[in-house]
Amino acid sequence: MTSADEMYDELLRLSAKAAVLGSCGSVLGWDRETYMPPAGAEHRSEQLSLLAGMVHEQTTSARLGELLEALSETEFDGDAAAVRRANVREMRRAWQRAVRLPGRLVSELAKVTALAQQHWAEARGRGDYSIFQPWLEQIVSLKREEAAAVGIPAGGEPYDALLDEYEPGATSATIADVFRGLREQIVPLLQAIRESGRKAPAEILHRHYSIDAQQKLARQVAARIGFDFEAGRLDTTTHPFCSGTGPGDCRLTTRYDEQFFSTSFFGTLHEAGHGMYEQGLPAAAFGTPAGTATSLGIHESQSRLWENLVGRSLPFWEGFLPHVQQIFPGVLDDVDVAHFYSAVNSVEPSFIRVEADEVTYNLHIMLRFDLERALISGDLSTADLPAAWDDRFDHDFGMRPLSAADGCLQDIHWSAGLFGYFPTYALGNMYASQLFDAARQQLTDLDDQIRRGEFQQLLQWLRSQIHQHGQVHSAAELIQMASGQPLSDRPLVQHLEQRFRPLYGI
């Protein structure tokens, strides 16, 4: 008879092996976006698909299922009991989800989304939704099948089963609830800002910022807030991302626009926020849930916290502007901190989500959440999507997209089969504000620290409240533990009110 300890050890070995193999794929994925020569693309697809297949085989193996079944009844005790319970719980959840998906569905989704992404790119390029619609139709149907296979929670809806992959424990109903509250307060705020007639001096950010200096600054600011370059990198790609490939190796990317300060600066703060979460996960727990980020929403909270709550705050710029003025000689000599602060917080409705400001960003997300939920439930047909998008956009932003490229074709997510992913962006914003409020209360002079360019205490606080726990606690539990409250729209709304009312004199 095998003891529970022996089974648990075997479980960790199997899990670590799959994770190490998966991490090889992360390096190859990063390399594809950064340094791979163009002609290597076809072979790289073969490499990535082989690795993904092998990881899938390992994470759905019968032996893993046996171990998880047996261990799910085990009463662990001792110091590490909580971690062991969480590892078994989360691995079992992932295993069950994975084995419920028929192999045929997995490979069909992989095939259809690979082709759909090409057709989406073409459709977006031409602003012609009809090119993409048949592919979206197929994807929606496959995702419904996926939801049914994975299992719809009692009293829930198919969309919940998809959401669960990215934000475990969250449901459509609770998200819809928080979003409704948030929306009711953001819409009037945006209205007031637009009616204020005031414009932020955003042109300051569109002067000539040399790429060399931007690159230097991006590295400096990432290192300053605490990203560890001994255990990480910063490279250039068309689409910025953060890729944690295992202990001691986390890679950020950004892009540079010589005529726009914000792209690389705030982009780097954002990715470094993701990166510091990865760097703060317990290295010894690599390959287990205890060493893995708990949800996409929490991941996004870390990037948004550094990008927006720190990086666009007045104390930050009171401390940091002189350095930026120095690094771009002559470019910002006529600019004072009030102007700069106002410029980086310009609110301006625009069609494109990834260019949106803090106020409108969440409206972009809610629109997507409502529409994708309706697509999955069947309340909205793919044929009616463009009109539904444009009507809703007009209602929320007071303008209609000129083309589907600025509307429902702008994001890659749906073509990649990512339904249930969008809401994690807005959840991230809410988590970020709630965490930052808690940090502010617990670290009494946080604003002064930020003004002095000292970020260690804040990072340390995030490490202890969030990073070190991996998946031992869910997003909801972490938020409750860190702030003493369940998730609420209030901190985000308060933050937006306090930042933007004074800026727009309303």
Choosing from 7, 10, 44, 477, the residue that interacts with a second copy (CB under 8 A) is 44
| Burial of 42 from C-beta contacts in 10 A (0-12 / 13-18 / 19+) | exposed
d(CA 389, CA 408): 6
**Both structure tokens of 24:** 């090889």
Q: Is residue 250 classed as helix, strand or coil in its secondary structure?
A: strand
d(CA 179, CA 365): 9
Give whichever of 58 and 196 is closer to a second copy, judged by the CB atom: 58
H or E element in which residue 488 lies: none
| Burial of 293 from C-beta contacts in 10 A (0-12 / 13-18 / 19+) | buried
Shortest Å, Cβ 15 to a second copy: 13
Shortest Å, Cβ 17 to a second copy: 7
Give whichever of 58 and 171 is closer to a second copy, judged by the CB atom: 58
Choosing from 1, 39, 62, 154, the residue that interacts with a second copy (CB under 8 A) is 39
Binders of a second copy in range 182-241 (CB under 8 A): 228-233, 235
d(CA 54, CA 388): 41
DSSP state letter for 39: G
Binders of a second copy in range 249-268 (CB under 8 A): 249
HSE, CB side, 13 Å, CA atoms: give it for residue 369. Answer: 25
Order of strands across the sheet that contains 242-244: 232-236, 250-254, 242-244
Interface with a second copy: number of residues (CB under 8 A): 37
Distances (CA, A) of 431 to 17, 157, 434: 33, 24, 5
d(CA 372, CA 69): 35
Shortest Å, Cβ 232 to a second copy: 5
Q: Does 115 bind a second copy (CB under 8 A)?
A: no
Shortest Å, Cβ 103 to a second copy: 18
Q: Does 330 bind a second copy (CB under 8 A)?
A: no
d(CA 95, CA 97): 5
Give whichever of 38 and 78 is closer to a second copy, judged by the CB atom: 38
Stretch of 42-50, 160-168, 362-370, 486-494 lying at the interface with a second copy (CB under 8 A): 42-50
Give whichever of 59 and 133 is closer to a second copy, judged by the CB atom: 59
Tokens 């003891």 sit on residue: 3
H or E element in which residue 482 lies: helix 475-483
d(CA 126, CA 196): 37
Shortest Å, Cβ 293 to a second copy: 17
Shortest Å, Cβ 211 to a second copy: 16
Does the annotation count 271 as an active-site position?
yes
Shortest Å, Cβ 218 to a second copy: 16
Q: Does 56 bind a second copy (CB under 8 A)?
A: no
d(CA 372, CA 131): 19
Let me know: does 368 contact 354? Beta carbons within 8 Å.
Answer: no
Choosing from 4, 10, 33, 36, the residue that interacts with a second copy (CB under 8 A) is 36
Q: Is residue 178 classed as helix, strand or coil in its secondary structure?
A: helix
Q: Does 89 bind a second copy (CB under 8 A)?
A: no
Binders of a second copy in range 386-445 (CB under 8 A): none
Choosing from 47, 74, 325, 460, the residue that interacts with a second copy (CB under 8 A) is 47
DSSP state letter for 257: B
**Both structure tokens of 152:** 């719809």
Give whichever of 57 and 195 is closer to a second copy, judged by the CB atom: 57
CA 41 to chain centre: 26
CA 492 to chain centre: 17
Taking residues 276 to 305 in sequence order and writing x for each that binds a second copy by CB under 8 A, - otherwise, the string is ----------x-------------------
Helices marked H in 281-357 — which ranges? Answer: 296-304, 314-327, 337-343
d(CA 136, CA 112): 9
Give whichever of 290 and 310 is closer to a second copy, judged by the CB atom: 290
Shortest Å, Cβ 275 to a second copy: 11
Q: Does 107 bind a second copy (CB under 8 A)?
A: no
d(CA 235, CA 129): 34
Choosing from 42, 73, 77, 334, the residue that interacts with a second copy (CB under 8 A) is 42
Give whichever of 211 and 338 is closer to a second copy, judged by the CB atom: 211
Give whichever of 233 and 392 is closer to a second copy, judged by the CB atom: 233
Stretch of 30-38, 201-209, 373-381, 474-482 lying at the interface with a second copy (CB under 8 A): 30-38
Active-site pick, 90, 271, 358, 372: 271
Stretch of 47-55, 124-132, 447-455, 492-500 lying at the interface with a second copy (CB under 8 A): 47-55
Shortest Å, Cβ 468 to a second copy: 18
Active site residues: 271
The residues of the shown chain that bind a second copy, judged by CB under 8 A, are 17, 20-21, 23-25, 27-28, 31, 35-44, 46-47, 50-51, 54, 228-233, 235, 245-249, 286
